[in-house]
């Protein structure tokens, strides 16, 4: 009798163990699939560029990506690096974004661009993205970047910043997002409607970098997949 019950209980225990292992495998697979349901977006950031008017075009520039015509202004030397740095810092704050190393991106871009001089720019970007295994490429242009002249409580001339960033999908070359910021800080006496923006800057005259940081935060409100 004892052997009978022992064998019976052994069979039950074995069945429960098998069922438990099967359930564990199923749950593990579901968790794995759930984790891959929204994989990280792999982004390659092409070095940002300042755009100045061609000779005889006054202060007019044309975006190389979307062909929109803009009125440009003074661009402080090296400002493209500042805007790019702030952009990359914001990308690092996002959970579902994977950045491809910058040096790798620039090396591939320079090589492909030199080999494809007569091809449309979007075709070049697609080739770069494909070789890097990037889902999208980020391309930024600086149209104006002038520094504040004076002090934070008393400025003779305010900071002025104008930049545009595109996200280009590698698979088909579509522009899936555009971040656009164009602002020259004004005093409350000049524009009372800027009161919210003015006090976001601490109620002082901002530097061009501070203005850029404020603008970058604003455009990232619509960034695709921008989960923090």
**Tens of pLDDT, residues 14-30:** 443 434 444 343 444 34
Q: Are residues 167 and 218 in the same domain?
A: yes
Strands (E), the chain: 41-45, 49-50, 60-62, 69-71, 97-99, 136-146, 149-151, 154-157, 160-169, 175-184
Would residue 58 be called left, alpha or beta, if left means φ above 0 and alpha means ψ between -120 and 50 degrees?
left
Residue 133 falls inside a structural domain = yes
Q: Are residues 93 and 68 in the same domain?
A: yes
Q: Are residues 95 and 113 in the same domain?
A: yes
Q: Are residues 53 and 111 in the same domain?
A: yes
pLDDT, tens only, 206-217: 899 999 999 999
pLDDT band at 195 (very low <50, low <70, confident <90, very high): low
Cα dihedral 63, 69, 74, 76, rounded to 10, equals: -10
Which pTM was predicted? 0.77
- pLDDT of 11: 46
- pLDDT of 118: 86
Residue 228 falls inside a structural domain = no
Domain holding 46, by residue range, is 40-222
- Measured between alpha carbons, how far is 138 from 46 in angstroms, rounded to an integer? 6
Residue 49 falls inside a structural domain = yes
Q: Are residues 162 and 73 in the same domain?
A: yes
Asked whether the predicted pLDDT for residue 222 surpasses 60, the reply is yes
Mutual orientation of helices 121-132 and 102-115 as an angle, nearest 10°?
130
CA distances from 52 to 55, 142, 167 (A): 9, 9, 22
pLDDT, tens only, 169-179: 999 999 999 99
CA distances from 29 to 32, 33, 117 (A): 5, 6, 47
- pLDDT of 228: 61
């Amino acid at each position: 009798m004892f052997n009978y019950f022992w064998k019976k209980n052994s069979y039950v225990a074995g069945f429960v163990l098998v069922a438990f292992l099967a359930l564990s495998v199923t749950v593990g697979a579901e968790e794995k699939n759930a984790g891959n349901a929204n994989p990280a977006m792999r982004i390659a950031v092409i070095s940002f560029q300042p755009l100045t008017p061609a000779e005889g075009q006054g202060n007019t520039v044309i975006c190389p990506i979307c062909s929109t015509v803009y009125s440009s202004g003074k661009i402080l030397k090296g400002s493209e690096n500042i805007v790019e740095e702030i952009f990359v810092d914001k990308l690092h704050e996002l959970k579902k974004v994977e950045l491809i190393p910058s040096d790798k991106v620039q090396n591939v871009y320079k090589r492909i661009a030199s080999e494809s001089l007569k091809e449309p720019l979007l075709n070049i970007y697609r080739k770069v993205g494909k070789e890097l295994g990037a889902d999208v490429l980020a391309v930024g242009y600086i149209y104006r970047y002038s520094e504040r002249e004076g002090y934070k409580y008393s400025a003779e001339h305010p900071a002025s910043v104008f930049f545009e960033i595109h996200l280009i999908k590698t698979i088909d070359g579509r522009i899936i997002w555009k971040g656009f910021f164009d602002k020259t800080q004004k005093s409350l006496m000049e524009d009372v409607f800027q009161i919210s923006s003015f006090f976001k800057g601490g109620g002082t005259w901002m530097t061009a970098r501070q203005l850029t940081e404020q603008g970058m935060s604003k455009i990232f409100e619509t960034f695709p997949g921008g989960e923090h």
